[in-house]
A and B are shown apart, each in its own frame.
Chain A
């Protein structure tokens, strides 16, 4: 339990990186965690299928905010295909912790926002092609 509030996580919570929104983002998606009222939005700008900028906004607990902050740092320079391949374990690795089942939902909310956002982008591209 002690390990959940590691200094790096608290640092991301106290000084979140990439907090804000992007005008005309290529991906913009938001989700709620109805259990605790957390809400995270992620905006992403792409160039040739690669993330050039990422921002997050919303409200939440230490774990979900730190997770969003760390994730938006991580994904810059990554391709959409790479983002799509991210697994829950990757998020835990980035955080440096494996939270229990309840807090795992907080930790994974930003990744869920990201992956749903990507899926929607793909759906849109497919419907444009069709």
Chain B
């Protein structure tokens, strides 16, 4: 494995990147929302449907046994990918959102009651906010917020004070989908555990982009989505400590997650199957397995280094434009996510004008409305990178920003 990534070789693996959009080569800068797919992932899904398809876990015939083995092998791959101590802690969900909802419904309703507190941060995506908001409302618990500093970091000086009380869980994002900030989850988890609280990490923006080791992080749950890490849509992962998952009631009930069912009672299967009711997203899991193979072949350290270099370059280039205001901490403290505003150009107009140049960026609130309110911003434009993005694309972005400004201001 080489220590530097060759983005041009990587790009050849992603068919969508060869597209022209509005007469220009596509520049895909919306990776925090979702990533493009390498041919290997597309091929794995095609081959599965074409010649290996059957349902899993119940069939007593060769095809089903093969499909089951392939599906369960992906569980092993995911466990190894995030250094999970036990493959049974890996639960397949639809996405990170569903994984967090699973914990809120199952663990939350069992363990959180009236007067308890849940601690979230001001930089959470709605998917790591609304499940807890709803839970608090239902059981009469209180949702409290760890504030952010003006630089877009978590204000850890407030943490112990906020943990001093009946806090049952700290739900924190590993990396912000707006600020890019990488949070010190290790330290937060240690302090939360000392205060008797569990820790759920939203890994949607970290697992695709940097080496993640759940044991080293010290968290109790982590949630992430397959589609943001070169995998298909419809498949995500919840990892939880096995002893917690053992005690939790099921989230959805139905086929495939029971030990026995009587007319008036039922006993549940053990994790992870207890949490995988119904026919799972088999082909999507196979696709996710191929995505993990692809990322591991390239090397997560190598991908991380590439994105760090690209982000530093982009921050430097954007800072030469005095009318661009970047939100969040400096390069080195963030993943490849850069949200910004431009003086007197609405982010939606900017996204529209950049699209004319074939550049796909995101504009709006990025599912983080409380964060935007805290920052005093109505909306931001956001570029976000992945392993296939290049400095050349950043240069084209900068030119397109200058052109957009000329057009709007006349």
Binding site for B on A (CB under 8 A): 1-2, 4-5, 10, 13-14, 34-38, 59-63, 103, 106
Q: Which residues of B contact A38 (CB under 8 A)?
A: 346, 378
Grouping DSSP codes into helix (H, G, I), strand (E, B) and loop, the B interface class, with mixed when no group exceeds half, is: helix
Tell me, in angstroms, the Cα distance from A63 to B346 when the chains sit together: 10
Residues 18-33 of chain B: 1 if any A CB is under 8 Å from the residue's CB, otherwise 0? 0000100000000000
Q: Which residues of A contact B349 (CB under 8 A)?
A: 5, 61-63
Q: Do A37 and B378 touch (CB < 8 A)?
A: yes
Q: Which of B293-301, B318-326, B352-360 contacts A (4 or more CB under 8 A)?
A: B352-360
Q: Do B348 and A106 touch (CB < 8 A)?
A: yes
Q: Do A10 and B352 touch (CB < 8 A)?
A: no
Q: Which residues of A contact B347 (CB under 8 A)?
A: 36, 61
Does B407 touch A at the CB level, under 8 Å? Answer: yes
Does B337 touch A at the CB level, under 8 Å? Answer: no
Binding site for A on B (CB under 8 A): 22, 346-349, 352-353, 355-356, 363-365, 369, 372, 378-379, 407-410
Q: Which residue of B lies closest to A105 (CB)?
A: B348
Tell me the minimal C-beta distance from A31 to chain B in angstroms: 14
Tell me, in angstroms, the Cα distance from A5 to B409 when the chains sit together: 12
| Contact (A1, B22) CB under 8 Å given A37-B365, A60-B346 | yes
Tell me, in angstroms, the Cα distance from A4 to B349 when the chains sit together: 10
Tell me, in angstroms, the Cα distance from A63 to B365 when the chains sit together: 18
Shortest beta-carbon contacts, A-B, top 3: A37-B378, A61-B346, A37-B379
Tell me, in angstroms, the Cα distance from A36 to B349 when the chains sit together: 11
Q: Which residues of A contact B346 (CB under 8 A)?
A: 36, 38, 60-62
Q: Do B352 and A103 touch (CB < 8 A)?
A: yes
Q: Do B348 and A61 touch (CB < 8 A)?
A: yes
Tell me, in angstroms, the Cα distance from A1 to B22 when the chains sit together: 8
Q: Which one, A5, A35, A59, A61, contacts B407 given CB within 8 A?
A: A5
Q: Which one, A4, A10, A36, A60, contacts B364 given CB within 8 A?
A: A36
19 A-B contact pairs sorted by A residue (CB < 8 Å): A1-B352, A2-B356, A4-B352, A5-B349, A10-B407, A10-B408, A10-B410, A34-B369, A36-B346, A36-B364, A36-B365, A36-B379, A37-B372, A37-B378, A37-B379, A62-B349, A63-B348, A63-B349, A106-B348
Tell me the minimal C-beta distance from B323 to chain A in angstroms: 16
